[in-house]
């Protein structure tokens, strides 16, 4: 039995954890063209927040396995890959408190490097990572 | 009898069990008696009183009822033969639950399975928000397995094997 968890807690934890991991590179939720003047930064978006619902009362649910997508932007391809590697080394397979003191508890972080690309209009290299959180309920 | 008169969604079913460490399972008559018997095992969330039972948080209620059973004989070289119906066994229920090691019901089921001798009354309650239909039976726990595959939540699977004579009864709230 468990209640529905609060995605606001996820968002706060993701922002805090990424900020710590890639500091001093700036971390933003969602993309804003104004950021594109910075030589390197990253954005994230949360999706697939879902606890399976089982039979009976509303609080009979399973664990949540949301995904946050991290988009790493950098004018230098080397920077983009290096920041991505920093995230991989730090968080892939990580278990424990996520988001510093007061953060959520995750039993595992699983990172899938989807692809890298280049935006010619912005002049920015990009790497897209999918990060799955196992959040015990 | 306040019998539910509508088609029920599957998720309206819940599983309940007696909460005593050493329970006294209901008699065949009591298994079909709502007031003071089956109602006490079902919690208020499903229209019961919950004074003698707890919820078992399972993913889904498997098919329940009675097995098909018959004795057959045949005559060599001829089609002559027959299927003779026998009394059917009550169906065993293999149940999967998301594993919460501190859940009171799961701990009790784990202990029952380890003992192998405890007979307990279980109730499947179907509730429409007002009225309840209950299927109660006595059983022992067997076949406990824990599946902790990475990349998914832990699962606790167990089987309730019915015991006794008729050993199940239907009831509904008055």
At A117-137, the pLDDT tens digits run: 999 988 999 999 999 999 987
Residue-level pLDDT at B2: 77
- Whether the pLDDT of residue A10 is over 90: the answer is yes
Mutate which of B46, B56, B57 to test chain A, going by most A C-beta atoms within 10 A?
Answer: B57
State chain B's mean pLDDT as an integer.
91
Residue-level pLDDT at B1: 58
Name the β-bridge partners of B95: B158
Residue-level pLDDT at B50: 93
The interface predicted TM-score (ipTM) is 0.82
Asked if A1 and B59 come within 8 Å (Cβ–Cβ), the reply is: no
Q: Are B42 and B55 in contact (CB under 8 A)?
A: no
Between A58 and A79, residue with greater pLDDT = A79
Identity of the residue in B45, B60, B103 whose CB atom sits nearest the CB atom of A57: B45
A chain contacts of residue B13, beta-carbon cutoff 8 Å: 55-56
Residue-level pLDDT at B78: 72
Calculate the alpha carbon distances from B110 to A56, A60, B23, B115 in Å. 22, 19, 15, 9
Say how far apart CA B70 and CA B72 lie, in whole Å: 6
Residue A15, both tokens: 């922002």
Smallest CA-to-CA distance from B17 within A2, B46, B1, B100 is with B46
- Whether the pLDDT of residue A79 is over 70: the answer is yes
Reported pTM: 0.85
- Whether the pLDDT of residue A114 is over 90: the answer is yes
Q: Is the dihedral of CA B34, B36, B37, B39 positive or negative?
A: positive
Task: Write out residues in chain B with pLDDT < 50, as ranges.
Answer: none
Mutate which of A1, A52, A56 to test chain B, going by most B C-beta atoms within 10 A?
Answer: A56
Asked if A56 and B57 come within 8 Å (Cβ–Cβ), the reply is: yes
Which helix H or strand E contains A130, and what residues bound it?
A: strand A124-134
Name the β-bridge partners of B144: none
Does residue A24 have a cis peptide bond before it, meaning omega lies within 30 degrees of 0?
yes
What is the least distance, in Å, from the CA of A18 to any CA of chain B? 22
What is the least distance, in Å, from the CA of A16 to any CA of chain B? 24
Say how far apart CA B150 and CA B154 lie, in whole Å: 8
Residue-level pLDDT at B155: 95
Identity of the residue in A55, A63, A136 whose CB atom sits nearest the CB atom of B59: A55
Name the β-bridge partners of B120: B139
State chain A's mean pLDDT as an integer.
92
């Amino acid at each position: 039995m468990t209640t529905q968890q609060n995605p606001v807690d996820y968002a706060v934890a993701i922002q805090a954890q990424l900020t710590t991991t890639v500091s001093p590179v700036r971390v933003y939720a969602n993309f804003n063209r104004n950021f594109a003047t910075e030589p390197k930064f990253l954005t994230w978006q949360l999706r697939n927040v879902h606890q399976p619902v089982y039979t009976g009362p509303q609080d009979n649910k399973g664990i949540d396995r949301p995904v946050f997508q991290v988009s790493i932007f950098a004018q230098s391809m080397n920077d983009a890959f290096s920041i991505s590697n920093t995230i991989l080394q730090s968080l892939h397979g990580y278990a424990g408190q996520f988001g510093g003191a007061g953060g959520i508890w995750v039993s595992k972080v699983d990172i899938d490097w989807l692809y890298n690309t280049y935006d010619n209009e912005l002049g920015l290299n990009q790497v897209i990572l999918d990060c799955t959180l196992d959040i015990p309920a | 009898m306040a019998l539910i008169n509508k088609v029920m969604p599957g998720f309206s079913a819940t599983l309940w069990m007696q909460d005593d460490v050493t329970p006294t399972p209901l008699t065949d008559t009591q298994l079909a008696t709502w007031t003071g018997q089956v109602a006490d095992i079902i919690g208020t969330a499903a229209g019961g009183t919950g004074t003698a039972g707890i919820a078992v948080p399972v993913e889904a209620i498997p098919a329940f009822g009675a097995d098909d059973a018959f004795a057959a004989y045949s005559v060599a070289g001829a089609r002559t033969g027959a299927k003779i119906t026998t009394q059917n066994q009550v169906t065993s229920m293999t149940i999967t639950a998301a594993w919460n090691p501190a859940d009171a019901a799961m701990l009790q089921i784990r202990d029952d399975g380890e003992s192998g001798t405890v007979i307990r009354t279980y109730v499947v309650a179907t509730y429409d928000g007002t009225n309840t239909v209950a299927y109660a039976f006595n059983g022992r726990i067997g076949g406990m397995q824990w599946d902790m595959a990475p990349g998914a939540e832990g699962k606790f699977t167990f089987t309730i094997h019915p015991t006794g004579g008729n050993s199940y009864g239907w009831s509904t709230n008055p």
